[in-house]
Amino acid sequence: MISPSSGVVTQGFSGSHPAVDYAYNGGGSTSYGQPIVAPEAGRVTYVGQMGTGVNDAGTVVQIVAGARTHRLCHLIPSSPTVGANQQVSMGQVVGQMGYSGYVIPAGMAGSHLHWVMEINGLRVDGRQYINEKIGGDDMIQNNDSEFERWWKLHRRIRGEGFSRDYFNKGFVGQSAITMIDRIQNDPQADYREYAGDIGNLAIKQDWLKVIEDLKAGGNIPQAKIDNLIKEAEEAVAAAKKLKE
């Protein structure tokens, strides 16, 4: 991913400003008309006016890349060079820096870019993702060869493949580095791996009978409950150890 502007950061990400602002040294007229580019490859989902009052973002180009959404705000209204549903590549010019919407100070002097980035709907500091230097050809595409490639890698690392649906929902539009990291650290995959072993131990040690006995017993001694918890903890530890 790259920065959507080659200007300087004039306001960083915070709770009260969950976005990153860019402008150019030299003031509003220097900033006005500067190119705004797509921070990563994706699909344009909206171009036009967004927001009202103090949340008036003016003319916005919105780009979606997998779980990530970018909103490039306050553009010159006539400047967007892309339309909704259009695919864009990383670095492609999508519009020009302007002062549409609510900017301080109002007018030319307030020209800047307000860049909103979200992952699964949550605001994030886009600058944290710039150094990935991932995009364009590195993005995972939805086609058969890509599905096969990632299925094989997943099976090699995790011992099992995945469904086409899982691929389409979780992989398409993500970067290769993000997905390798995800495959390696997939907690759900770990759970599934351990679950079989824990289940075998539960059958072997007849946990179901123990639970039924406890239910039937009415007045259960604390020592027996403590012992059951201890056994369960040991079984989980043993199942994990099998995988080491």
Binding site for Zn ion (CB under 5 A): 19, 21, 114
What are the φ and ψ backbone dihedral angles of 169, each rounded to 5 degrees? -80, -35
Token pair, residue 158, equals 């995790």
Classify the phi-psi angles of 99: left when phi > 0, otherwise alpha if psi is within -120 to 50, otherwise beta.
alpha
Q: Which is nearer to Zn ion, 73 or 201 (CB)?
A: 73
Q: Tell me if 99 sits within 8 A of 139, measured CB to CB.
A: no
The residue type of 173 is: G
Token pair, residue 111, equals 């020209």
Instruction: Tell me the residue nearest to Zn ion as measured from the CB.
Output: 114
Shortest CB 110 distance to Zn ion, Å: 10
Q: Tell me if 96 sits within 8 A of 61, measured CB to CB.
A: no
Shortest CB 43 distance to Zn ion, Å: 24
Q: Tell me if 4 sits within 8 A of 62, measured CB to CB.
A: no
Q: Give the dihedral sign, CA 67/185/133/141.
A: negative
Shortest CB 151 distance to Zn ion, Å: 42
Q: Which is nearer to Zn ion, 44 or 116 (CB)?
A: 116
Shortest CB 24 distance to Zn ion, Å: 15
Q: Which is nearer to Zn ion, 58 or 173 (CB)?
A: 58
What are the φ and ψ backbone dihedral angles of 139, each rounded to 5 degrees? -70, 145
Q: Tell me if 228 sits within 8 A of 210, measured CB to CB.
A: yes
Shortest CB 190 distance to Zn ion, Å: 40
Q: Which is nearer to Zn ion, 117 or 139 (CB)?
A: 117
Token pair, residue 102, equals 């609510």
Shortest CB 78 distance to Zn ion, Å: 22
Q: Tell me the CA end-to-end span of the chain in Å, nearest whole number.
A: 35
Q: Which is nearer to Zn ion, 21 or 40 (CB)?
A: 21
Residue with tokens 């705004």: 36
